[in-house]
Amino acid sequence: MPPKRKAQDGNVNIQSRATKRNKTNDKQPESSQKAQKQHPKKTNEDKNQGNDVTPMYRHWLLKSEPNSRLENGVDMKFSFDDLKKSPSQTSCWDGVRNYQARNFLRDQMKMGHEAFFYHSNCKEPGIIGLCKVVKESYPDYTQFDPKDPHYDHTSTKDNPKWFMVDVKYVRPLQRFISLAELKKAHQDHVRNGGPLCNLALFTKARLSVQPLTQEEWDFILKMEQRDGK
């Protein structure tokens, strides 16, 4: 099991390695002008909603590495089973270092939102289970720790750059849905039409926090009841 730490807000100890696994894969540069912004520009849809902005997405896919991988002497592993074994089956989802993924996590992930737990960077990537958001975004304390692989010296506690949420274990899928099976469905839907034609897993593959439409979520949930062969 990865080491445990106490969250900055004084909550009970939770796993601090939640998103350490795949964050190195979704890092991207950002201009100094953008880096100083606390919030992204509002879309036209946001502006039409006024101050009461309804989240565009309510379902998510969260990537995590289930196998041990050391980075600066720290094991980045965090599997679906690790989440289940966490205190109260709950963990912070930290270590996100991609601005688009950060914006999804910070601005759109709300209490009760459901997510697929996706094992990545392993022999057989795919969706293994379900989790849900139980605490909305708050500053990711790993950005302030010089010993942490995701330390960011440009971020301050007065103006944090990176955020995290808490997620809770829900249940495993009735069967594992592999990346290969999802890719086959995606390609079929691209050719013939279908809800997975624009699935972020293939159109925005680098993101460790990926949005899902209601149609994508429903279709993938139904896949667990089918024979994947």
Domain that holds residue 96: 14-24+55-175+206-213
- Orientation angle between helical segments 214-223 and 179-192, nearest 10 degrees: 130
In a domain, 103, yes or no: yes
The answer to the question of residue 138 being in a domain is yes
CA-to-CA separations, 124 to 161, 177, 183, 185, in angstroms, rounded: 33, 10, 13, 17
Rounded to two decimals, what is the model's pTM?
Answer: 0.79
pLDDT at 155: 97
Of 3-12, 149-158, 202-211, minimum mean pLDDT range: 3-12
CA distance 174 to 176: 7
pLDDT of residue 227: 77
- Residue that wins the pLDDT comparison between 2 and 131: 131
Q: Supply the CATH number for residue 73's domain.
A: 3.10.590.10
Confidence band, pLDDT 50/70/90 cuts, at residue 226: confident
In a domain, 39, yes or no: no
Mean pLDDT in residue range 15-43 = 44
Q: Please report the pLDDT score of residue 26 as a whole number.
A: 59
Encoded tokens for 81: 């089973």
Structure confidence at residue 5 (pLDDT) = 36
**Residue 123 backbone phi and psi in degrees, to 5:** -60, -45
